Amino acid sequence: MTQSSGAPTADPDQDPVYTQAVTELLGAIAYGELTAFERLTEDAKLAPTLEDKVAFMSMAAAEFGHLTTLLERLRELGADPYATMRIFKKGFDEFHAHTRPADWYEGLIKAYVGDGLAADFYREIAAYLDPVTRDAVIESLVDVGYAELVVDRVRAGIRADPRMGGRLALWGRRLMGEALTQAQRVAGERDALSALLAGGVDRPGLDLAALGRMFARLTENHARRMSDLGLDS
């Protein structure tokens, strides 16, 4: 993925605007990790084999490990991690309520597409963070094994039942639409976080063109993931 170029110009110990932006960013990622842990635990119950069940539970444990790192960084910044996560609870919960998988394969697509989009979204911002926060964010985005497992299982499922491909392609498009709606809502509601999304808190105002280019890159990456699955985007 092509990232915007740039370097962090703010210090969380000296710039309260930057500290607010970073706190909100970490809160959003942390609540996302918490919901990913919960979702993977639920998905494991739908797994058709013991091997898949263990794989999903292992991924859930890895997500929980990412969460603890983010909570620690929030405390270092002097924030209440739980109060910060609650800011984003409604948005995440609405997304998951609107995109509840109907079966094992829809759960796989949601894990792959949804988490991939979130990772792209946060990597876009990471270039503008201080080194300590950037490391915490990047560590939370380490692939916990979704990609290879999902691509293998979905492609095998479509080979066994080609009619399933059309349904899963529609599901992938729905996930992308819901995710972008939520991301744009967050960008519009949180001023400090919006500045980071636009390329840094030192900019004089929200750069809508920069945001548009970022969302275009997210869409391109989504199309590549769908292609890897053998599905139209």
In a domain, 105, yes or no: yes
Per-residue tokens: 89? 């609870």
The pLDDT score that the predictor gives to residue 18 is 84
* Angle in degrees, CA 196, 1, 123, rounded to 5: 30
The pLDDT score that the predictor gives to residue 43 is 83
Question: Per-residue pLDDT for the chain (233 aa), expressed as one digit of tens each?
Answer: 334 444 444 555 567 878 888 898 899 889 988 998 898 888 888 889 999 999 888 888 888 888 998 999 999 999 999 999 999 898 889 888 889 888 889 989 988 888 888 888 888 778 778 888 888 888 887 766 678 888 999 999 999 999 999 999 999 999 988 887 877 776 666 776 766 766 555 544 456 676 778 778 888 999 999 999 999 87
The pLDDT score that the predictor gives to residue 1 is 38
Whether the CA torsion 78, 90, 34, 217 is positive or negative: it is: negative
Query: Which residue bears the tokens 């899963």?
Result: 168
In a domain, 208, yes or no: yes
Q: Which of 219, 220, 214 is nearest to 194 (CA)?
A: 214
Query: Using CA atoms, how far apart are residues 109 and 100, in angstroms rounded to an integer?
Result: 11
Per-residue tokens: 83? 């109060």
pTM for this prediction: 0.80
Exposure of 196 in the CB half-sphere (CA atoms within 13 A): 28
Query: Using CA atoms, how far apart are residues 138 and 70, in angstroms rounded to an integer?
Result: 10
The pLDDT score that the predictor gives to residue 200 is 55
Query: Using CA atoms, how far apart are residues 35 and 182, in angstroms rounded to an integer?
Result: 15
The pLDDT score that the predictor gives to residue 14 is 62
Q: Which are the contacts of 118, defined by CB distance < 8 A and separation ≥ 6?
A: 29, 32, 179
Question: Within 47-80, where are the H helices?
Answer: 50-76
The pLDDT score that the predictor gives to residue 174 is 92
In a domain, 2, yes or no: no
Segments of 110-226 assigned E as strands: none
* Cβ neighbours of 53 (radius 10 Å): 15
In a domain, 10, yes or no: no
CATH number at residue 51: 1.20.1260.10
In a domain, 1, yes or no: no
In a domain, 9, yes or no: no
In a domain, 8, yes or no: no
Total of domains in the chain: 1
The pLDDT score that the predictor gives to residue 203 is 47
The pLDDT score that the predictor gives to residue 3 is 41
* Cβ neighbours of 37 (radius 10 Å): 19
The pLDDT score that the predictor gives to residue 149 is 85
Task: Say if residues 128 and 6 touch (Cβ distance below 8 Å).
Answer: yes
Structural domain containing residue 187:
16-228
In a domain, 62, yes or no: yes
* Cβ neighbours of 7 (radius 10 Å): 8
Query: Using CA atoms, how far apart are residues 217 and 110, in angstroms rounded to an integer?
Result: 19
Residues comprising the chain, all counted: 233
